[in-house]
Amino acid sequence: MRPVQASASLRDVTVVFDDRPVLRDVTIDFAPGLTLIRGPNGAGKTTLLRAIAGLVPLARGARAIAADPLFIGQRTMLLRALSARENLTFYRRFRGLSADGVEAALAAWGISARDRDRPVEQLSAGERRRASLARIRTEPLAIMLLDEPFTELDDAASSELRTAIGAARDEGRTVIVATHAHPELDALAGATVGLREGRVIVE
């Protein structure tokens, strides 16, 4: 059964890389709430998220999305030479938002006042990841795509992330998370998509 109002959807989407199909005839509707994308390495989880975000050309099929999404990739997407504050402010300003709230968001994710202004390069991998996840708060968009967001997080930060995902879900945002682990998220999820070799196996 398909949800009545989908905030994002893919129809018969095939994505080909280097002449190899990475996604094959994928049709999914994403409703508000949390959707988990599950699957082993190389199943096409990242490509699926990038297809929803409109970052890969579709060999076949169509994509529809209700609003511009926030996409946080497997890597931090922060420019290493700039500080966390500069990076997050840039993203906000680009979306036409003010620079307000960046400090607070970084503080909430445990980035100290000193570290907020150091080049991201000098932070630890975990700090960089947390700085990038602070975008969930600084760019509060209706649709959010997170690719393996738990990578490099310690237990405290992981639980922080679960709380943030839960809060976003409760606000009626559409949250799509690709992860091969973290079974505890299942309790929060409204839907789970299983991927294997580029095909949807369970929905």
Beta strands (DSSP E) in 31-100 are 33-38, 60-65, 70-72
Rounded-to-integer distance, Cα 91 and Cα 156, Å = 26
Residue 188 is a binding residue for another protein (CB under 8 A): no
Query: Of 19-27, 108-116, 152-160, 168-176, which part binds another protein (CB under 8 A)?
Result: 19-27
Cα–Cα dist 57/13, whole Å? 10
Answer for the pair 49, 43: CB distance below 8 angstroms, yes or no.
Answer: no
In this chain, which of 53, 164, 177, 200 binds another protein, going by CB under 8 A? 53
Q: Per rule CB under 8 A, is residue 76 in the interface with another protein?
A: yes
Distance CA 89, CA 110 (A): 17
What element of type H or E holds 45?
A: helix 45-52
Is residue 75 involved in binding another protein (CB under 8 A)? Answer: yes
Q: Tokens at residue 164, please?
A: 């943030």
List 4, 96, 98, 156, residue binding another protein (CB under 8 A): 96
115 binds another protein (CB under 8 A): no
Which residues sit opposite 64 in a β-bridge?
A: 9
Interacting stretch for another protein, rule CB under 8 A, among 50-58, 100-108, 156-164, 176-184?
Answer: 50-58
Interacting residue ranges for another protein, rule: CB under 8 A: 14, 16-21, 24, 53-57, 59-60, 68-69, 71, 73-82, 86-87, 90-91, 93-96, 119-120, 128
